[in-house]
Structure 1
C-alpha cells in the first residue's frame, strides 16, 4: 500500500511542438481568434462573439492536447483528422462570418473583427493544408517516414 503512494505521475510537456511550424500556427490562430473575440465583444455582436469564443476554446483544447502529448494517450480518435476537420469547418465559417461582419458593420469593432476574422480563416486554411499534407492514408510506414524526413531537409 505504501508503494502505491510513492508512485508519482508526471505530465510530459512537448516544448518542441511550440517551436514547430504547426505549434506556431496554432498560437497565431489563438491570437487572431482572441483579438477578433475582443473586437466583436466591444461592438456587442453576440452572434459573432459566440462563434469566435467557441473556436477559441476548440483551438485551445487542441493546442493543449498536442502540448501535453494527450493525443498519444487518448487514441480513441485520430486527432490530426479531428484537427483537420475542425480547421476546414472553422475556415469556411469564419469566411462567411467575416463577410457578414464587413457587410453589416455599424461599429469599428465589427469592422476590425471582420478583418481579423479573414486573417484567422487564412491561418486555419494553412493549418488544414499542413495537416492534410502530413496525414497519409494507406501508405506503408517506411514510405511515410522517408517522405517526412525529405520534407524536413
Structure 2
C-alpha cells in the first residue's frame, strides 16, 4: 500500500504567495467582500448579496489556483490576464453597485455594505494595476524581469 501512495504526485503549496503583495491584496479583497456580504445579508438586500458572493467565490478560486500552483499546470489560459480582467470588471461593477447601495439605503446594513463595497473596489483597482504592470505583452521576458527586480 505504501508503494501506491508514493506514486501519487504531491500537490505543491505556495505559501509565499499569501505573504506577497498580490496575496495580501487578494486576501484583503476577500475580507472586504465578506464584510460587505454580511452587511448586505443583515440588511436583506438579495441583489447586492448575489454580487458580493459571486465575486468572493471568484477571488477565492483564484487564490486557490495560485496557492496550489494550478496556474502552472493549466496552461491553456493566460491566468494573469484573466485575473486582470476579473479585477477591472469587478472594480467597475462594485463602484456602481456600491454607489447605488449608498445612495438608496433604507437600512444601515446596506450603507455599511456599500462603503465596504467601495473599499473593495479600491483594492480591486490596485490589484488590477499591479497585475497589469507585470504582464508581458510585447516586451521580452528579460526586460520584464529586470523591471520587476527594480520595483520590488
- 1:42-61 equivalences under 5 Å are 42-61=42-61
* Root mean square deviation of aligned Cα: 1.3
- List 4+ stretches of structure 1 deviating above 3 A: 2-6
* Equivalent pairs, count: 151
**Matches of 2:83 and 2:6 in 1, distance apart?**
37
TM-score by length of 1: 0.95
The offset of 1:8, in angstroms, is: 2.3
Match of 1:94 in 2: 94
Matched, 1:7 2:2: no
After superposition, residues 71-150 of structure 1 pair within 5 angstroms as: 71-150=71-150
TM-score relative to the length of structure 2: 0.95
**Alpha-carbon displacement from aligned partner over 1:29-65 (angstroms, at most 9, x marks no partner):** 0000000000000000000000000000000000000
Aligned residue for 1:62, secondary structure, equals helix
- Structure 2, unpaired ranges of 5+: none
